[in-house]
Amino acid sequence: MNFSITILGSGAALPTFSRNPSSQYIECNNRHILIDCGEGTQMQMRKFGVKFQRISHILISHLHGDHFFGLAGLLSTMHLLGRDKGITIYGPQGLEQIIRSQLEIGGTKLDFGITFITLDGKSSQLIFEDKLIEIHTFPLKHRVPTNGFLIKEKTKEYNLLGDLFKQDGLSIKFIQKFKNGEDVVDENGKTHYFKDYTTPPPPTRSYAYCSDTIYYENIIPSISNVDLLYHEATFTELHKQRAKATFHSTAIDAAKIAIKANVKKLLLGHISSRFENGDEHLKEAKTVFDNTIVVEDGNNFEV
Ligand SMILES: [Zn+2]
């Protein structure tokens, strides 16, 4: 099953030729999710081959423009391309009002429904689940209410050793129990152990998104042990004071969170337009946490 992240925008605040504002496309077990939707996101989707109509969930972290100014435009394009399948948008208080006003005042009537789910930005919660994945939100610490997101696979079933199962002539009623990791007692009172007929399920994978936030250890329980963590690193140590004043993080801040949360790999993004490249961010972060990458627009990562 696929689980991948495509970076559509890795810059902070201002769009530049090299970095678009925040947005990411997540494919997880054939679920298609957009996180944040800065200005120009739909052009990045075209450029990097993301199919518009597949997206079923849009998660907006907060209401600073570089994280959602592209949303009304994207929804309008989905409509013009003939979308009739509904979409669910998660975001802070006020997002629904803004988007509905933008559409209604201009007389745009979409051919598909939007379900808005308001996030309070104050508590961690499970916001979506189906049989394969879960999406959780948790509060970040920024100048306005801001949500981080955790996307993870559900625990998978044990793999049945089909030949052995057949050979021993067990009832097909046992199959699901074994796959669930349960032992079964048959009508003669004999116990059949699932471990004899299965191999362990493949590990579940997880991805966490943290943008924007000041250094904030309260997020650690929500993101601990993830395979991949995206954490904003707007600034380097040179602008440490500026980071604090604007409730943003430095590369070192992000790396400290990564090591304390015991994540496997760290992606740094939301890079300020004052930097020509991410070299300094990378150098600083690696002094704390080695398995770090500074992302570029168009990068694709397997979780
Ligand atoms: Zn912000």
Instruction: Say if residue 272's pLDDT is above 90.
Output: yes
Q: Which residues are marked as active site? A: 66
Q: How far apart are CA 108 and CA 127, in angstroms?
A: 29
Question: How many angstroms separate the alpha carbon of residue 46 from the centre of ligand 1?
Answer: 25
Q: Are strands 147-153 and 23-28 parallel, antiparallel or unpaired?
A: unpaired
* DSSP track, 68-87: TTTHHHHHHHHHHTT--S-E
Tens-digit pLDDT profile for residues 83-124: 999 999 999 999 999 999 999 999 999 999 999 999 988 899
Tell me which of 3.40.50.720, 3.40.1110.10, 3.60.15.10, 3.30.43.10 is the CATH number of domain 3-156+202-302: 3.60.15.10
Question: How many angstroms separate the alpha carbon of residue 22 from the centre of ligand 1?
Answer: 10
Q: What is the DSSP letter of 88?
A: E
Q: What is the DSSP letter of 270?
A: -
For a pLDDT cut of 70, what percent of the chain falls above it? 100
Question: How many angstroms separate the alpha carbon of residue 217 from the centre of ligand 1?
Answer: 18
Tens-digit pLDDT profile for residues 150-191: 999 998 899 999 999 989 888 888 999 999 999 999 888 999
Q: Which two tokens stand for residue 134?
A: 């879960």
Are the beta carbons of 147 and 121 closer than 8 angstroms? yes
Tens-digit pLDDT profile for residues 48-74: 999 999 999 999 999 999 999 999 999
Comparing C-alpha atoms, which of 157, 139, 156 is closest to residue 148? 139
| Domain residue spans of the chain | 3-156+202-302, 159-199
Question: Across residues 26-50, what is the average pLDDT?
Answer: 97
Letter for the amino acid at 117?
A: I
